[in-house]
């Protein structure tokens, strides 16, 4: 089942940007454009796994909405143009899981969303990519119901790509996320591991090479 | 050294010196005088005694008798006329000595003068006055009468007096010094306060003032200081105000820039990295496009605003308001038609001192705002009457608590709606600045649901409407 994310952002264009990317990455995004409508939506609709809250909102502002979120047990990531330390501390102290400063990159948004979902235990257990099924809780990869054994780094790489479907990663980003930022190896290592994954799971058409950028796992 | 100490010291020293010298002179004169008096007294005594002795001894045959007789006679005479103070000498030989002293210098011949002479000798701490005179005795020759007297007590008296004087003098001096010091300190107290206030001001406590109690020079300095502090405080507050406003403007500006930036970066990033449908790609491009246009509008308005903050080359001229209205009507005509709204203008104003381009911009901004509040078929009134121009709409109105804030840069009552209508929240800030340059102020009256009227009230730069009044 898809994770449901509430997007509270008054700027129409930014709201659509976030929703578009969340949807493409496999989440269900529900936009709200002002602070006053949030409570109603939380009460009436199905439970949300996460809320992205703009701090400056017409009606109730982001900090005020925190209480409502706590009542409904929805973890919060603040999205704001205020980059000063004071606002960050206020946001995080009030109980937010994370704090994203505008302008942000799509990948940053997605990774932070995913980390928060992971941390709060609301992450999906199973990700399907065509015939391949990744069971995150059991660390297993099945192809047509048959278990395929992957090396740990191959598994991590596959999970990262699958979690952020349709989003292209540069080789450097992949290195950072999977091998860690202190890894001193060559980016070509990525190509070798991608090759292995493609071969073992027959995903050559799904994990695409994007020229000049890197790799992308597409639906 | 502190000024009060300095002044006290100088005053006290001068005072002490003056009174001290004066006192010393007085004491000295007194001493000399009393010594002279004493000597004179003794002189008279000696004169009287010697005269009497002279009388007794002259032609006295007793003197021609034996040595012993003579001595006892003289002894008798001395005891009769004088006392135990006298010594009688004849030719360097002591004839009779009734005193306790011993005459050392017997034959110096110094007492042979017919007038009384005297000498004061210092004998083992005692002052001894010796006074002598020649007595002519016929026929036995000259005798000399000497008087010896201890006058130490007189010196002691003088010394006592001097001591008493010094005592009183010191006591008075001490009291005077204390009084002077207290008075000086009290007089200089305003200076101390002044210094404390100045230090306070330099520490940033700009509301510090000094209490002015006197009308002397120090009081005047205090008053002047207060005036200066007042001026400094005002100017600093003004500067702080200006910089605070600038800071707020910059703060809001960065915030306003971040929103379109977020969209542009986000959408372009999405287009670059994320696989999205062609439809979505197009949407992303539309967003990027419109956000860029927004930035462009923002920069344009901002240039205007900053230009007006710094530029003093505003071209003021007298211009007929009627003509200004015509220009605005032409400018807004297309917009109005497109939205199906009507503009009704009435002008009973003559000429106004204005920068035509800026006033035009002011009018267009106000009318644009009115149009954003109105719906199709509504009418916007523009009236110039008396010393004000009024733009009135019957749109949705502004909530009462928002009115004071709407002329701040980037403030929007209904943010999401204004943005959709293409607003960036600078219009009224711009209008306010233009009005300010024209010695005018904006007055906003609004009732929610009924409409808004914005008055541009000019203080005193219009002319010609008096004549217009006469036509009525």
Decide if B273 and A11 are in contact by the 8 Å CB cutoff: no
Q: Above 50 in pLDDT, residue B200?
A: yes
Structure tokens that stand for B22 in this block: 């004066």
Q: Hey, what long-range contacts does B251-256 have (CB within 8 A, 24 or more apart)? A: B252/B408, B252/B409, B252/B410, B253/B302, B253/B409, B253/B410, B254/A81, B255/A56, B255/A81, B255/A82, B255/B410, B256/B298, B256/B410, B256/B424, B256/B425
Percent of chain A topping pLDDT 90: 13
> Given this model, what pLDDT does residue A6 score?
93
> Greater confidence, B29 or B69?
B29
> Given this model, what pLDDT does residue B242 score?
79
Torsions phi, psi for A196 (to 5 deg): -60, -45
* Chain B residues touching A13 at Cβ < 8 A: 263, 267, 287, 290-291
Whole-angstrom distance, CA of residue B164 vs CA of residue B392: 100
* Chain B residues touching A17 at Cβ < 8 A: 262-263, 266-267, 270, 284, 287
Of B258, B266, B290, the CB nearest to A106: B266
The CATH T-level fold of domain B3-173 is Beta-Lactamase (3.30.450)
Q: A14: nearest CA in chain B?
A: B263
Q: Above 70 in pLDDT, residue B460?
A: no
* Reported confidence tier of residue B468, pLDDT bands at 50, 70, 90: very low
Structure tokens that stand for B396 in this block: 């949705």
* Reported confidence tier of residue B130, pLDDT bands at 50, 70, 90: confident
* Chain A residues touching B293 at Cβ < 8 A: none
User: What distance separates the 2 farthest-apart alpha carbons in chain B?
Assistant: 176
Q: Above 90 in pLDDT, residue A19?
A: yes
> Given this model, what pLDDT does residue B282 score?
92
CA-based torsion, A69, A100, B250, B303: positive or negative: negative
In 3-state terms, what secondary structure has residue B92? coil
The residues spanned by each domain of chain B are 3-173, 205-313, 314-472
> Given this model, what pLDDT does residue B29 score?
92
The winner for highest mean pLDDT among A114-123, B94-103, B462-471 is: A114-123
* Reported confidence tier of residue B25, pLDDT bands at 50, 70, 90: very high
* Chain B residues touching A60 at Cβ < 8 A: none
> A119 CA to chain B: closest CA distance, Å?
25
Window from A146-160, B90-104, B265-279 with minimum mean pLDDT: B90-104
Of A10, A13, A17, the CB nearest to B415: A10
* Chain A residues touching B251 at Cβ < 8 A: none
pLDDT digits over A173-184, tens only?
A: 888 888 887 777
> Given this model, what pLDDT does residue B74 score?
81
Decide if A14 and B420 are in contact by the 8 Å CB cutoff: no
For residue B343, list its beta bridge partners. B380
Window from B79-83, B159-163, B291-295, B434-438 with minimum mean pLDDT: B79-83
Q: In this structure, are residues A203 and A161 in contact, taking their beta carbons and an 8 Å threshold?
A: no
Percent of chain B topping pLDDT 70: 90
As a 3-state breakdown, chain A gives helix, strand, coil percent values, each rounded to 5, of 40, 25, 35
Q: Above 60 in pLDDT, residue B51?
A: yes
Cβ–Cβ contact B323 with A under 8 A? no
Residues B257-277 have a mean pLDDT of 87
Q: Identify the residue among A10, A13, A24 best suited for mutation to test binding to B, counting B beta carbons within 10 A and taking the highest.
A: A13
Structure tokens that stand for A76 in this block: 């919060």
Q: Hey, what long-range contacts does A139-144 have (CB within 8 A, 24 or more apart)? A: A141/A201, A143/A201, A143/A202
* Chain B residues touching A25 at Cβ < 8 A: 274
- Is the CATH number of domain B205-313 3.40.630? no
> Given this model, what pLDDT does residue A5 score?
92
Whole-angstrom distance, CA of residue A193 vs CA of residue A198: 9
pLDDT digits over B213-237, tens only?
A: 878 888 888 889 889 989 988 888 8
Count Cβ atoms below 10 Å from residue A95 Cβ, excluding itself: 12
Q: Above 50 in pLDDT, residue B464?
A: no
Whole-angstrom distance, CA of residue B424 vs CA of residue B44: 124
Cβ–Cβ contact B270 with A under 8 A? yes
Residues A58-75 have a mean pLDDT of 84
**In the CATH scheme, what is the code of domain B314-472?**
3.30.565.10
Decide if A20 and B414 are in contact by the 8 Å CB cutoff: no
pLDDT digits over B401-431, tens only?
A: 777 777 776 666 665 555 555 566 777 877 8
* Chain A residues touching B275 at Cβ < 8 A: 24, 166-168, 216, 218-219
Decide if A20 and B262 are in contact by the 8 Å CB cutoff: no
Q: What ipTM is given for this predicted complex?
A: 0.81
Decide if A20 and B291 are in contact by the 8 Å CB cutoff: no
């Amino acid at each position: 089942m898809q994770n449901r994310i509430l997007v509270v952002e008054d700027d129409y264009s930014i709201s659509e940007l976030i929703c578009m990317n969340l949807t493409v990455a496999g989440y269900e995004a529900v936009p709200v454009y002002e602070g006053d409508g949030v409570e109603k939506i939380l009460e009436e609709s199905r439970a949300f796994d996460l809320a992205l809250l703009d701090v400056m909102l017409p009606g109730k502002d982001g900090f005020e909405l925190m209480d409502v979120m706590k009542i409904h047990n929805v973890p919060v990531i603040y999205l704001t143009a205020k980059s000063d330390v004071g606002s960050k501390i206020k946001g995080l102290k009030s109980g937010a899981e994370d704090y994203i400063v505008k302008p942000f990159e799509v990948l940053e948004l997605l990774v932070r969303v995913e980390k928060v979902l992971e941390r709060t235990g609301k992450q999906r257990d199973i990700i399907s990519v065509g015939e391949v099924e990744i069971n995150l809780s059991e660390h297993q990869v099945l192809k047509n119901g048959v278990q395929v054994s992957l090396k740990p780094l191959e598994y991590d790489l596959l999970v990262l790509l699958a979690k952020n479907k349709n989003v292209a990663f540069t080789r450097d980003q992949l290195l950072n996320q999977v091998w860690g930022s202190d890894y001193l190896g060559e980016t070509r290592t990525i190509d070798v591991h991608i090759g292995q994954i493609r071969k073992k799971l027959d995903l050559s058409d799904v994990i695409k090479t994007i020229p000049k950028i890197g790799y992308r796992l597409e639906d | 050294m502190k000024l009060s100490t300095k002044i006290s010291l100088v005053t006290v020293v001068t005072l002490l010196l003056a009174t001290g010298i004066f006192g010393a002179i007085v004491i000295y004169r007194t001493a000399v005088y009393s010594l002279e008096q004493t000597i004179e007294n003794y002189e008279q005594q000696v004169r009287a005694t010697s005269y009497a002795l002279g009388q007794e001894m002259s032609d006295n045959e007793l003197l021609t008798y034996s040595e012993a007789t003579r001595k006892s006679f003289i002894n008798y005479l001395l005891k009769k006329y004088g006392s135990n103070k006298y010594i009688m000498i004849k030719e360097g030989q002591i004839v009779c000595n009734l005193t306790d002293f011993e005459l050392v210098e017997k034959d110096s011949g110094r007492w042979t003068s017919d007038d009384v002479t005297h000498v004061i000798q210092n004998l083992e701490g005692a002052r001894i006055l010796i006074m002598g005179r020649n007595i002519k005795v016929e026929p036995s020759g000259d005798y000399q009468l000497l008087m010896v007297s201890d006058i130490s007590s007189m010196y002691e008296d003088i010394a006592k007096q001097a001591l008493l004087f010094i005592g009183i003098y010191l006591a008075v001096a001490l009291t005077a010094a204390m009084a002077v010091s207290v008075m000086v300190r009290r007089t200089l107290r305003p200076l101390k306060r002044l210094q404390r206030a100045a230090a306070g001001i330099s520490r940033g406590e700009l509301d510090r003032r000094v209490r002015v109690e006197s009308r002397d020079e120090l009081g005047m300095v205090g008053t002047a200081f207060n005036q200066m502090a007042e001026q400094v405080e005002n100017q600093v507050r003004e500067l702080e105000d200006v910089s605070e406003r600038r800071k707020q403007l910059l703060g809001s500006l960065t915030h306003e820039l971040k929103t379109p930036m977020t969209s542009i970066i986000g959408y372009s990033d999405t287009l670059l990295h994320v696989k999205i449908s062609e439809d979505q790609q197009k949407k992303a491009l539309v967003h990027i496009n419109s956000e860029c246009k927004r930035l462009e509008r923002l920069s344009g308005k901002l240039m205007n605003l900053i230009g007006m903050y710094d530029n003093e080359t505003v071209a003021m001229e007298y211009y007929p308001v009627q003509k200004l209205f015509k220009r605005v009507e032409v400018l807004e005509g297309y917009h109005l038609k497109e939205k199906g709204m009507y503009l009704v203008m009435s002008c009973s104003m003559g000429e106004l001192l204005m920068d035509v381009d800026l006033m035009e911009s002011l009018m267009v901004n106000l009318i644009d705002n009115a149009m954003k509040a109105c719906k199709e078929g509504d009418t916007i009134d523009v009236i110039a009457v008396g010393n004000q121009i009024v733009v009135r709409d019957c749109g949705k109105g502004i909530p009462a608590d928002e009115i004071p804030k709407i002329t701040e840069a980037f403030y929007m009552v209904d943010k999401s709606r204004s943005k959709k209508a293409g607003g960036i929240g600078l219009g009224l800030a711009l209008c306010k600045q233009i009005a300010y340059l024209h010695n005018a102020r904006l007055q906003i009256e609004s009732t929610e649901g009924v409409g808004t009227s914005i008055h541009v009230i000019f203080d005193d730069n219009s002319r010609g409407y008096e004549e217009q009044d006469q036509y009525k």
